[in-house]
Homo-oligomer: A and B are copies of this chain.
Amino acid sequence: MLYQLPDRDIERFIEEDIPYGDLTTLLLGIGDLHGEITFTSREPTTLCCTEEAARILEKCGATVSFLLQSGTTVEPGVTILSANGSAGTLHAGWKVALNLLEYASGIATRTHKIVTLVKKVNPAITIVTTRKSFPGTKKIAIKAVMAGGALPHRLGLSESVLVFRQHIAFCGGLERFLQTVSELKAKSPEHKIIVEADSAEEALLIAAAGVDVVQIDKLQPEALSRLVEQLHRVAPGVKISAAGGITGENASVYAETGVDMLVLSSLYFGKPSDIAASITFLQP
């Protein structure tokens, strides 16, 4: 089972949408009638945040009767989550729960599709995602990426070593920086040293310097294939990742280049999953 979002987030999502209750339900005077809500897939979907959607409904006062776990992949027409409670309760939680389900499952579904796709071409490849999720949504985004079968490339700046050209600018240039790689490795023996390369030439220099991972930015697949071969000759143990502009459309081609990892941002955005929510009145 994947990690759960804290209660604080659950409450924040509810307050964002219904800070002072549902005015429409109040004015209609229907709040105390009893009903049922059911969420159903409308397309092939890898689910995420069903647990949190359930907790949203429960915080609003409903009772959850059925739930598929995050990470489950369903065909269209499958019941994902059901709950019952007063009309006031169901209307309070409906769209908050649905919205979370749709955004999180959108990421999970995109991830699952691309993981499935590239594994056909290259079963040993790993899909990882960048830090570029929508500000304030990392807890959802990382859970969704994991639900879809990928992993975060790095969670942030504090726990991993990735040297960008923007760092190297302060190190006296690439050449001087590369002379310090072994020192860098000694300073932090528990972290892999990852260095970004902006060209094939740079990549070869970087790999030769003994880094653990060379991350190649925006190289076309063909050139990348050639480079991978060269890198394997120059630095047999180095891991190679490709980043920059990789999406569902071109991921397979990139996977065929022989790199060890694809680093994507594109999984984080795009259309949310399409999930139906029906609310029915339960006659007493």
Contacts and interface: CB of A to CB of B under 8 A. Distances in A.
A15 B12 CA distance: 14
A31 B147 CA distance: 13
Contact of A18 (B100, B134, B156, B189): B156
Number of copies: 6
Interface of A: 1-4, 6-9, 11-28, 30-33, 35, 61, 86-92, 94-96, 99-100, 102-103, 106, 124, 126, 128, 131-140, 142-143, 146, 151-164, 166-167, 169-171, 177, 180, 184, 186-192, 194, 212-213, 239, 241, 260-261, 266, 269-272, 278-281
Of A6, A151, A153, A189, most B-chain CB atoms within 10 Å: A189
A168 to B, nearest CB: 9
A188 B126 contact: yes
A156 B94 CA distance: 12
Contact of A35 (B20, B90, B169): B169
Given A30-B167, A171-B30, A152 B95 contact: no
Contact of A159 (B13, B94, B159, B180): B159
12 contacts: A1-B88, A23-B157, A24-B164, A30-B167, A99-B133, A99-B135, A100-B135, A106-B269, A126-B188, A190-B239, A190-B261, A269-B270
A138 B16 contact: yes
B134 A170 contact: no
A27 B11 CA distance: 30
